[in-house]
A and B are shown apart, each in its own frame.
Chain A
Amino acid sequence: MDAKKVDRIAKRVIQTMVLMIVVLLVLILGYILVTGLSQTKLDFIFKISKAAQAGGGIRDQLFNSLYLLVLALLISVPLSLGAGIYLAEYAPDNWFTRMLKTLIEILSSLPSIVVGLFAYLVLVIKFQIGFSIIAGAMALTFFNLPLLTSNIENAFRNLPDSQREAGLALGLSQWKMIKGILLPRIVPSIITAVILSSGRIFGEAAALIYTSGQSAPILNYANWNPFSPDSPLNIMRPAETLAVHIWKLNSEGLTPDADAISAAASAVLIIVVLLFNISAHYFGEKLEQKLTAKR
């Protein structure tokens, strides 16, 4: 067979495979959105879930997911900012730094179930916190910390050295230079990184089933006392999230309309992740416009 024929065939084969994948992706997205949004009324978002009968909602699970996300970010953003600054600006090139980087890579590649089990072992069992939001938030922090740290480190590294030199030449201390000159410039990249990691946190379930637990006590949204067990703000209560709820519905099979609720909850999850993605892109583009003066 001559080379030109092979060339044509190869191109055709590749195009067919791409088409197959695109069709597959469209089907997946379409299936979730169509079945998810058609089988239930939209008000299921505001209804409480029911274990053994049809017609349940996802109100508390959705709140739990959001609350866990906020708590996990509250813990992990300052920590990864500190570690990122150290790695990019202060860390000398020695064995300690190399070990630190290797360990961050290892931590980021650990399966989330392993991280979840570690949090279960240490927080839930050893420290006897029990299944609670705070244990879940810590597990999510363990899982989010390495990626967010390397994102922030890279953001610092991408800044031109002239910025640092200008700051130091003005007589600023290194800390002042980092805080006053570098940090403001990478705020947009940090926001993008945080939004993208929010998407991952929001959909995470394996690290949560044995930390924040698989039960969702019915919440009383009028009760703002953080120490009361039915208060939404209480961080010591168990909290089943949306992703865990989908898993539980399908692996226990007690709920008669499990399929419909799972489909609808999946649609909600996908829409939220989509929103996170779009806003991350929006911020990313804004940043590019600002830095390159492109309109």
Chain B
Amino acid sequence: MENDVQKQLTSPSKATRENIRGKALTFIIASLIIVLTVAVIGFIAIKGITTFTKDGVNLWDFLTKSNWNPGSIKDGKPEVGAAPMILGSFLVTLLAAVIATPFSLAIGIYMSEYASKKTNKLLRPVLELFTGVPSVVYGFLGLVIIVPMMRTIFGGTGFGILPGAIVLFVMIFPTITSMVVDALTAVPVSYRQAALALGATQWQSIYKIVLRAATPGILTAVIFGMARAFGEALAVQMVIGNSVLMPTSLVSPTATLTSQLTSQIGNTIMGSIQNDALWSLALVLLIMSLFFNLLVKMIARKRKI
């Protein structure tokens, strides 16, 4: 009897046990995310390096040679030169960012400095809507509008880097812009007031004060946009032409990492060199994504100091 009371008083109550269970449950779920992320990185890395370990491809050849023909063997080595795709991915990404950044800055400045509250209330949801437009829709538009346009202007097939970059520009532009707007509105009003009080024109205050103060945020926005562009698969695949050739001009058919992956991985047999080579492309994609992530982190750390 006495023991029972003691037991009841010293053992955890029902609510405590429930709390421990709840904490454990949510912890397990959170740990699942860790397992998942590590698994994604691990599996792709293991699959991606078999080309170099098992099939004996030289890493340097993979990165710099432009003969992509994983099935055939030349001089005792499979022809796995991924340079055209790596170059293609970088070119479309850079070009898209170069087109998108000025426009994003313009809209960002307009929304944070010039526009009335009413206009902003209209523009914000529009940007959000365009962020949400599925990428296949942009790809389809590129295919029926931009590719024929390129064909009439430059001749040839109309497929290539330039249409890819234009499609990506439209796609990443809303993302970059929303983040630029956030960066600009985060600059304290007192900065602007101080500049204006010193007799600066509005443009001087924007150009010399606001833009400089918001530079880390703007850079983060552009890198985010580039990361998205680099990893976008279907929209680019639809307009790039999908032939693994070194791009000779901005409107010659070529391929990107993502376009080659989407169009080929279903056509190869698991474990074959053709398949392994594609997983190596996926690994490059993964590494670049991690690199963009690191860049964003570094900028954020600099901002704190």
Q: A: which residues have CB within 8 A of B?
A: 3-4, 6-7, 10-11, 13-15, 17-18, 20-21, 24-25, 28, 31-32, 79, 82-83, 85-87, 89-91, 99-100, 103-107, 109-115, 117-118, 120-122, 125, 142, 145-146, 149, 172-176, 178-179, 196, 199-200, 202-206, 209-210, 214, 243-244, 246-247, 250-251, 259, 262-263, 266, 269-270, 273-274, 276-277, 281
Q: Is B52 an interface residue (CB 8 A)?
A: no
Q: Is B60 an interface residue (CB 8 A)?
A: no
B123 to chain A, nearest CB (A): 8
A114 close to B25 (CB less than 8 A):
no
Q: Which residues of A contact B263 (CB under 8 A)?
A: 251
Q: Which residues of A contact B262 (CB under 8 A)?
A: 113, 206, 209
Which segment of B37-45, B72-80, B183-191 sits at the interface? B37-45
Instruction: Please judge, given known A-B contacts A17-B103, A100-B33, A117-B282, whether A270 and B137 are in contact too, CB under 8 Å.
Output: yes
Q: Is B202 an interface residue (CB 8 A)?
A: yes
Per-position 1/0 for B257-293, Cβ under 8 A of A: 0100111011000100000000100100110011011
B136 to chain A, nearest CB (A): 5
A111 close to B114 (CB less than 8 A):
no
B135 close to A205 (CB less than 8 A):
yes
A251 to chain B, nearest CB (A): 6
A117 close to B134 (CB less than 8 A):
no
B134 close to A110 (CB less than 8 A):
no
For the A-B complex with A15-B110, A79-B29 known, give 14 more contacts whose Cβ atoms are closer than 8 Å.
A10-B203, A18-B110, A20-B103, A24-B170, A86-B27, A86-B29, A86-B30, A106-B41, A121-B43, A145-B36, A176-B15, A199-B132, A210-B266, A251-B263
A178 close to B140 (CB less than 8 A):
no
B238 close to A250 (CB less than 8 A):
yes
Q: Which residues of A contact B25 (CB under 8 A)?
A: 82
Which segment of B1-9, B214-222, B229-237, B246-254 sits at the interface? B229-237
Q: Which residues of B contact A125 (CB under 8 A)?
A: 270
A273 close to B15 (CB less than 8 A):
no
A116 to chain B: closest residue by CB: B233
* 18 chain-A/chain-B pairs, Cβ below 8 angstroms: A3-B203, A7-B204, A10-B203, A14-B106, A18-B107, A86-B26, A91-B30, A105-B293, A106-B41, A109-B293, A113-B261, A145-B33, A173-B18, A175-B19, A203-B133, A206-B234, A276-B132, A277-B125
For the complex, what is the distance from the CA of A223 to the CA of B270, rounded to whole Å?
35
Other-chain contact of B231, A103, A110, A269 (Cβ < 8 Å): A110
For the complex, what is the distance from the CA of A33 to the CA of B211, rounded to whole Å?
37
A112 close to B231 (CB less than 8 A):
yes
A7 close to B201 (CB less than 8 A):
yes
Q: Is B141 an interface residue (CB 8 A)?
A: yes
Interface residues of B in 7-62 (CB under 8 A from A): 15-16, 18-19, 21-23, 25-34, 36-41, 43-44, 47
Instruction: Please judge, given known A-B contacts A106-B293, A111-B258, A251-B263, whether A21 and B133 are in contact too, CB under 8 Å.
Output: no
A235 to chain B, nearest CB (A): 20
Instruction: Please judge, given known A-B contacts A107-B36, A274-B129, whether A14 and B141 are in contact too, CB under 8 Å.
Output: no
B40 to chain A, nearest CB (A): 5
B125 close to A281 (CB less than 8 A):
yes
Instruction: Please judge, given known A-B contacts A83-B30, A117-B265, A125-B270, whether A111 and B230 are in contact too, CB under 8 Å.
Output: yes
Instruction: Please judge, given known A-B contacts A118-B44, A125-B270, whether A203 and B135 are in contact too, CB under 8 Å.
Output: yes
For the complex, what is the distance from the CA of A82 to the CA of B234, rounded to whole Å?
33
B140 to chain A, nearest CB (A): 5
Q: Which residues of B contact A206 (CB under 8 A)?
A: 135, 232-234, 258, 262
